Chains A and B, each alone.
Chain A
């Protein structure tokens, strides 16, 4: 576990949808330098948690604190401005805008940004993701794997301290998936914090120094992967699938 400043904390987060409690008093804190894998059976509330921690969903109870600042009722773009970036389970891009423009949008929301600087940063990011040759393509024409990479690029343009990746490996070709994992590890080494949600255990274990498990809206384990994987409660939760 790394011992940096606390970036995002969710305290006693509750979310209900109709009669279902998607998140039941969840406590979740991420510290700078963390590399967290968030796993759990389907319907355990992982995406709901991420939505609340990134400002896309208002909790019914509990608080979200980002870098020491209370975030009640703040819209998602404020989180983004504070360096909290996220990708979506089903990639959400600006389909009829070019790949470059997709990166310019977050680039230009940065305070004091200029077109020149934003364009340069965007092109650097495309180089990093090996998508530079697709710069002028409309984003909707990218392949599935390329779209995931572009979404990651969109996060990076926000100069984020922390990135929440929601199922980045789902349906991605193994070769591109390895690319993605390499990028994540590179970025982590360079100082970025990650919380990765996915079902692909093999991939998650490659990008986790800390494993958090959710089941039925509750956090049931939180610790180093070897411990968590042998935790009785976790095994029970998965066995009940």
Chain B
């Protein structure tokens, strides 16, 4: 049956929603944070995995979205969803601008540039503390007044689902083909009629918008924001999550976020060892399984109920030779 795996995913999602209230508050928090990273990982994978733009500024946009929403709600008393929407809009605009500025930059230069951008944002947020409360943390109005985390769980779930629907839709459309073509060979893409500049800017704008969405939710969930949200540590963690899962596909990126976040909690007893451990896993993944650790699993999953699909996927990689000279 085609698309069998989709039914399984839907069933799992339904089960998760129905049984969510059985989770302890602690594990619910872990799940919510995992979904927060899921939104970030999938949107970053659009940028880095599909288009090939290795931006280190993604968490900075989450930070901008969070602070923008928090401050707007605080100053003008607007409803939180409106604040979050404003944060998203700001991040889209700013992301598009960064994408435009980066048009001529490739690989490492783009990474360094976005790293510089992220650091500048972090420094400004930390230093202008009369506005942002700097390192002490900005108090942000929470979405729900209840002591239970359940409404936040449902909200995060909804936001993740919407993000994946939108991103997935984009990736499966002709735009998805164009983005991948840009990553494979920009010149050939241009010669094929793809408006490369436009799509690079668009990808940045869209990805940054989702980052801003995640950041906005985060602020209104935790209730407090610090400039370290946009810092290198969390950005590096995001890269680790997405690459270990598989940065070239949305499901594996989200899967990577879930798995790493889950393991980080499970291994909490080992304290400081967790992070270096994931560093090693990342290095091993890059060295020996560059597509990501979850990618082979995902491919098998997609083939459920379709035995011919496996053969088709294997057939993609048979080298051809010209007849002997």
Chain A CB within 8 A of B193 CB: yes
Pick the contact of B194: A54, A85, A105 (CB < 8 A). A105
Chain B CB within 8 A of A219 CB: no
Contacts of A173 in B (CB 8 A): 322-323, 325
Contacts of A80 in B (CB 8 A): 190-193
Chain A CB within 8 A of B266 CB: no
Contact with A along B162-202 (1 / 0, CB 8 A): 00000000000010011011001101111111111100000
Chain B CB within 8 A of A94 CB: yes
Cβ contact within 8 Å between A175 and B312: no
Chain B CB within 8 A of A75 CB: yes
Cβ contact within 8 Å between A109 and B192: yes
Give chain A interface residues in 72-117, CB to chain B under 8 Å: 75-77, 80-81, 85-86, 88, 92-98, 101, 104-106, 108-110, 115
Smallest beta-carbon distance A37→chain B, Å: 21
Given contacts A94-B181, A134-B320, A143-B322, contact A56 B194 (CB under 8 A): no
Given contacts A93-B188, A94-B188, A141-B317, contact A105 B195 (CB under 8 A): no
Chain B CB within 8 A of A71 CB: no
Q: State which size class the interface on B falls in.
A: 20 to 34
Given contacts A105-B178, A154-B192, contact A88 B187 (CB under 8 A): yes
Contacts of A136 in B (CB 8 A): 312, 315-316
Query: Of all chain B residues, which has the CB nearest A111?
Result: B193
Chain B CB within 8 A of A203 CB: no
Chain A CB within 8 A of B319 CB: yes
Cβ contact within 8 Å between B316 and A141: yes
Interchain CA distance A76-B198 in the complex, whole Å: 13
Interchain CA distance A49-B315 in the complex, whole Å: 40
Interchain CA distance A98-B312 in the complex, whole Å: 11
Contacts of A75 in B (CB 8 A): 190, 195-197
Query: Of all chain B residues, which has the CB nearest A87?
Result: B191
Pick the contact of A137: B177, B189, B190, B315 (CB < 8 A). B315
Query: Of all chain B residues, which has the CB nearest A54?
Result: B191
Cβ contact within 8 Å between B320 and A56: no
Contacts of B9 in A (CB 8 A): none
Interchain CA distance A115-B319 in the complex, whole Å: 28
Cβ contact within 8 Å between B184 and A97: yes
Q: State which size class the interface on A falls in.
A: 35 or more
Pick the contact of B319: A86, A93, A141 (CB < 8 A). A141
Interchain CA distance A141-B315 in the complex, whole Å: 10
Cβ contact within 8 Å between A56 and B184: no
Pick the contact of B185: A55, A93, A134 (CB < 8 A). A93
Chain A CB within 8 A of B131 CB: no
Smallest beta-carbon distance B18→chain A, Å: 36
Chain B CB within 8 A of A11 CB: no
Cβ contact within 8 Å between B187 and A146: no
Interchain CA distance A144-B192 in the complex, whole Å: 20
Chain B CB within 8 A of A176 CB: yes
Contacts of B323 in A (CB 8 A): 173, 175-176
Pick the contact of B189: A105, A110, A146, A157 (CB < 8 A). A105
Contacts of B319 in A (CB 8 A): 141
Cβ contact within 8 Å between A77 and B317: no
Which of A55, A93, A97, A134 neighbours the largest number of chain B CB atoms within 10 Å of its CB? Answer: A97
Chain A residues at the B interface, C-beta cutoff of 8 Å: 54-56, 75-77, 80-81, 85-86, 88, 92-98, 101, 104-106, 108-110, 115, 134, 136-138, 141-146, 154, 157-158, 172-173, 175-176
Q: A77-B194, A93-B188 are in contact. List 20 more A-B contacts (CB 8 A).
A: A76-B190, A77-B189, A94-B189, A97-B180, A97-B181, A104-B174, A105-B177, A105-B194, A108-B174, A110-B193, A137-B315, A138-B317, A141-B316, A143-B320, A144-B322, A145-B322, A146-B322, A157-B192, A175-B323, A176-B322
A-B contact pairs, 12 of them (CB 8 A): A76-B187, A85-B191, A92-B187, A94-B188, A98-B316, A105-B177, A105-B181, A137-B315, A154-B191, A172-B322, A173-B325, A175-B323
